Structures are given as C-alpha cells and as structure tokens.
Structure 1
Amino acid sequence: MSEFEIDDDPKRIDLDAVWAFMSTEAYWGQWRTREQVAAQVESAWRVVGAYHRETGAQVGFARAISDGVGFGYLADVYVLDSARGNGLGKALVRAMIDDGPGAKFRWALHTKDAHDLYRGFGFAEPGMMYMERRGTGSLD
C-alpha cells in the first residue's frame, strides 16, 4: 500500500472522481443525480479518500453519516478496479470506523456483495433489535 495514502481531509475529495464511480459503477448509487451526490459528500459527517501518492489521483472513497455521539452509518465505500488488491478497502473502512472519532460508535451499513470485508471489522447481520423502513430509492 506504500504507493497509496488514506486521508480524511474533506477538501481533498475529488467530487468528479466520486461522481464518475457512483454514476457508472456503484450498483447502490446510480439512481442519484450529481447534485445529490455532491450534497451527500458536502453534508457528510466524515469522508475518507484513498489517493495515489505520485499523482494524487483519488482511487477510493468512504462516507459516513453520524449523530456525532454514538451512531454512524458507513456509505459509498469503493476502490477503483485499477487500485484493488492493495488493501485499500480495508484501509478506508479502518480509517473511518476504527481510527477516527467514531471508534466507539455503533456502526451500520448496507451491502450486497462485500460481507466478508465488513465482517472483518465486526459487522454482522442484524439481530432482533434492528428494523428498517426501505425507501423508494432502496436497492431491493
């Protein structure tokens, strides 16, 4: 991972890079408009990016929504195909939930295909205390 770095500076997020991925490759977010993605990034409690050290190009992203006290929702985690296999997915999640100000939070997320990644951080299928109301923009 030495050719990449993880940074939580929101000013460094490349909205064009986030939009390029979200609008073409993110099965969970292609229904969003660019303006909606921009608003979500702008209003996020925290964002974390993965960047190529030499070029500075953004190759990964994670966003969180939180009450800032005890709950966080992890969203929009991705790593570009060209940068996969370098541990960046794990690094993004670790930076967001373990190494940041939300390390003691209860975290939630939705995923269709990355269960093994998130199980490695203690995520599990919900128990009896969890309920969800799906919106019209939900995945299923």
Structure 2
Amino acid sequence: MHAPLRISSERGELDVAMIHRYLSEQSYWKRGVALETVRKGIANALCFGGYVDGQQVAFARVITDYTDFAYLRDVFVLPQYQGRGYGKQIVAAALDDARVRDVVWMLGTDDAHGLYASFGFAPLEAPHKYMRRPAA
C-alpha cells in the first residue's frame, strides 16, 4: 500500500524550486524554462500540489477565467512516485474543484491520451475552427 496523496491548492505550500527543476530538466514540454517563467505561471493560475509525507511529489496547473474556460497544464508526478495513481488523483482534484467544475476544459499532451480520456477528454470535434499563435 502506498502512502496517501494529500492535494492542496494553497499556493504557499508549493515547492517552486522542485517544480522548476522538474519542468526545466525532465519535462518534454518545458525543458530549459526559466525559474521566473515558472514563478509567473504559478502566480497567474490555479495550482495543485500533491504531497506525500509532507514532500511535494506532484503538480498540476490550471489556466482559467473561472467562468467559461480552463486549460490543464504542467501535470506531473516525480518519477520515483509514478505508478501509484497520484497522477489520476491530482487531475481528478483539479477537474472537481468547485471553482472550475463547470467550465469547458482543454489540454495538450504528447503521451497521456489514455489518462485524460478516462476523465472525458476527447480530440477536438472541429479542429479546423481552432487557431494557435505561438509564443514570440
């Protein structure tokens, strides 16, 4: 039996150094990201930390207007804690948070389609209606 995951959206509990280290060194989507960029992203989003025995081991960030739309971003579980269901738990906590429960959700992933499909995510019905402007 694995230790239980405690999930909190209290920004002050987040281990920003660990989040930055994971995103900049281990993620495929933000490799090399600057610490200040991570800090700014956390400050401007609804964030969830997952904790085991007081140590943060998981993270998820929700970019939202709290009214119509939410974008799930930067979801990860530290490698040594993967395979314990913590990823599913932190995604479930974000999707079930009362502040964003009834909004339209989107996300992007290269490798976790099955995980997100289990929460009701599906490919865009009309991708030709959506446009993207890359960062400068």
With normalisation by structure 2, the TM-score equals: 0.91
Match of 1:79 in 2: 77
State the partner residue of 2:131.
Answer: 132
Structure 1 segments of 4+ aligned residues over 4 angstroms from their partners:
none
Does residue 51 (structure 1) correspond to residue 51 (structure 2)? The answer is yes
Q: 2:36 is aligned with what amino acid?
A: E
**What 5-or-longer segments of structure 2 have no aligned partner?**
none
Q: CA deviation at 1:89?
A: 0.6
Moved more, 124-133 or 69-78: 124-133
Q: Which amino acid aligns with 1:132?
A: M
Q: 1:3 to 1:29 in 2, by over 3 A?
A: same
Residues paired across the two proteins, number? 134
Aligned residue runs from structure 1 range 87-126, under 5 A: 87-126=85-124
Give, as a single letter, the amino acid of the residue that structure 2 aligns with 1:13: L
What corresponds to 1:30 in structure 2? 31
1:18 correspondence with 2:16: no
Deviation at 1:23, TM superposition (A): 0.7
Runs of 5+ consecutive residues of structure 1 not aligned to the other structure: none
Question: Take 1:117 and 1:62, find their aligned partners in 2: how far apart are those partners?
Answer: 14
% identical aligned pairs: 35
TM-score (norm 1): 0.89
Counterpart-to-counterpart distance in 2, 1:4 and 1:109? 23
Superposed CA RMSD in Å reads: 1.5
Aligned residue identity for 2:17 = D
